[in-house]
Structure 1
């Protein structure tokens, strides 16, 4: 059933699930969803009964990372001198605590360099209001401006260091905590931390996040959104594994079980509403598998349209690339002469390159429908795709 983003945020907030992992294409509304969630969570705070002497941190029940987090950091490009470039930090309670009170500057720098393999060396100013960047080995220590991707990764490292400390605090008995500032924290919303990382570091990042989530206190809930299939799949796989408090104990106490996670796909409808589709816990998400699922569903429901032929061609192209073929047509069924069957080729090409947009929603001839079904069956059996339709129930 279609919903507004606010209604989906309400659904996420009402869930008792430890972690909710959401895949969505870019532009779907992930960042807006994080804002809706933040505003809903803020309504839970008892403003009238709060301690006026409490810190800014103690009055927050949600920690979030999204595009607005990056807005806390802004560049001073030294337009006059063109030498003293620095990244400034807007005053805020979170960076003040993690940098000034907890002294996490060196940890953040180490994590940034580990995550990026960069020769860039960040340096925090004495009052932690600015960050300078130099290149390793530069004897002159010239201050440089880093790329947008490097900047995003550094900001993520600041957030991650903060999150690690919070998880550690909340994992300690309340009377033994070094601060009570996070006792009210209930939610962590992480929106697309992926930026300019190669696959190896992306996998490392996903594993780190999953480990931190699974080891966190039972009262802390996480919502993680991403547009990256690899990042989603690594997190999904990690959340399918248990985590024991002490794996060597005679009676194992589980900190985390796979039932503590739910996986979703967020879709935006043509009318501007949204659908949060529940994904099977054991089914990995990949774009080409999603397309194949859509085609199979259309076949089952008798709703084949011309754009489904484009979907199938896309799957053949991705499969050909994976198998090392120069031309996707070489994967098609063979005719009697040993060459790719020209009829299958024609069907996919004609239906994938309609001259008018209106044709894309047009009816498909029965003969072409039969050929598409035949191709789907051939693709599944010949190249090892799962033969059953992917079960994607609605939540």
Structure 2
């Protein structure tokens, strides 16, 4: 199908959450623009939804203040149609709240376009360390991406913008230039966004990052989230019967449980797009998770959140073998005290402590992690 047909198909999906994995250069940003243009036509020429993509990021640019030896370096906010909504930020609190899980090492301040007329809105952002608030700094590319992403997450909640453009969110690749820990945190924030809005609007997420795609897909379909991302529908079925020479129509109702989400691989060849189901992808992304863990072990950069990824692999293996608990894999591997150690993994991979997942593993947990990974990859002989 061409881009126009793909856009129409995405608009018509009954699922409110759409996850799309695609390699770079597939045209994800152009797809978000195509979706915007198509839904504007359907909405009488007005924006129907809100967006985060490369164009969103381009609204922010560094003024390095080189003539003054970078004394007043700042991140400028270009004028755009969003100004009417950005002006509604009374202070930095909404953005700071979204940044909190990332635990930034810097602080920031919004600067008005005109100091004598703050009603004109915000024109730039200055960054500084809490220990030196008078000295403006330039944050890293990764930190900048996180800041802009959190800026838009806060903007999504501004009254007026979302109220008027409330049909959908289209989020394109929010994790470029981010490390594994920040990708994990971003995944958790996206899951919260899904949970909050999936019953009121469509949310489309495109990404080239298999780890992000894998995390979200597994969380969406996990039993603990079943009540949030599944819906029950009553299906009426008619059947005809003949009783004593008379044709009788019998109507039966049955309950049908359906997902609120759809996950697909997006492939492109020449100018033709194709949406691929995950029968092949399930194998692919769990192999990729194992490769991520292998790399983390080799670099001696093991963080607590890596237990989340290891648990995902064990859950997949257990499910494939027809078992309902990931600790079954520990039994198969003859891990000593497997019940006790499954409790440790369960605690370290619990979603309620994700903000703290940037901490390094302590020596005992690192030893346990490497032991399980080594035994698992030896016993099941994955091709990595």
TM over 0.5: yes
2:124 is aligned with 1:136: no
Q: Which structure shows the higher strand fraction?
A: 2
Aligned to 2:199: 218
| Structure 1: 5+ residue stretches without partners | 48-58, 170-178, 246-256, 291-314, 325-378, 387-395
CA distance in 1, matches of 2:198, 2:130: 39
The alpha-carbon distance between structure 1 residues 181 and 9, as it changes in their structure 2 partners (threshold 3 A), is closer
CA distance in 2, matches of 1:287, 1:6: 32
Q: Deviations over 1:148-185 (max 9, x none)?
A: 2221111100111122x26xx6xxxxxxxxx5962452
CA distance in 1, matches of 2:297, 2:136: 46
Q: SS at 1:25's partner residue?
A: coil
* Residue of 14, 24, 30 corresponding to 2:12: 14
* Residue of 118, 143, 146 corresponding to 1:150: 143
Q: Deviations over 1:86-106 (max 9, x none)?
A: 111123343542x43242522
Aligned to 1:39: 37
Q: SS at 1:34's partner residue?
A: helix
Pairing of 1:171-186 with structure 2 (within 5 A): 182-186=163-167
Aligned residues: 268
2:154 is aligned with 1:161: yes
2:251 is aligned with 1:260: no
Pairing of 1:264-275 with structure 2 (within 5 A): 264-269=264-269, 271-275=270-274
Aligned to 2:208: 227
CA distance in 2, matches of 1:93, 1:220: 22
The alpha-carbon deviation at position 273 of structure 1 amounts to: 2.3
The alpha-carbon distance between structure 1 residues 319 and 131, as it changes in their structure 2 partners (threshold 3 A), is closer
| Structure 2: 5+ residue stretches without partners | 113-117, 230-256, 299-375
Aligned to 1:122: 108
Pairing of 1:297-308 with structure 2 (within 5 A): none
Q: Deviations over 1:299-346 (max 9, x none)?
A: xxxxxxxxxxxxxxxx9x88976897xxxxxxxxxxxxxxxxxxxxxx
2:68 is aligned with 1:81: yes
2:55 is aligned with 1:68: yes
CA distance in 1, matches of 2:162, 2:265: 34
Q: SS at 1:46's partner residue?
A: coil
Aligned to 1:94: 82
What's the Cα RMSD here?
A: 3.5
CA distance in 1, matches of 2:228, 2:175: 28
Greater alpha carbon shift after TM alignment, 130-139 vs 227-236: 130-139
Moved over 3 A (4+): 92-96, 195-198, 280-285, 287-290, 317-324, 379-382
The alpha-carbon deviation at position 41 of structure 1 amounts to: 1.2
Conserved 8 A contact 2:102-2:185: no
Conserved 8 A contact 2:195-2:228: no
Q: SS at 2:154's partner residue?
A: helix
The alpha-carbon distance between structure 1 residues 39 and 219, as it changes in their structure 2 partners (threshold 3 A), is same
The alpha-carbon distance between structure 1 residues 261 and 201, as it changes in their structure 2 partners (threshold 3 A), is same
Aligned to 1:306: none
Conserved 8 A contact 1:233-1:284: no
CA distance in 1, matches of 2:166, 2:29: 20
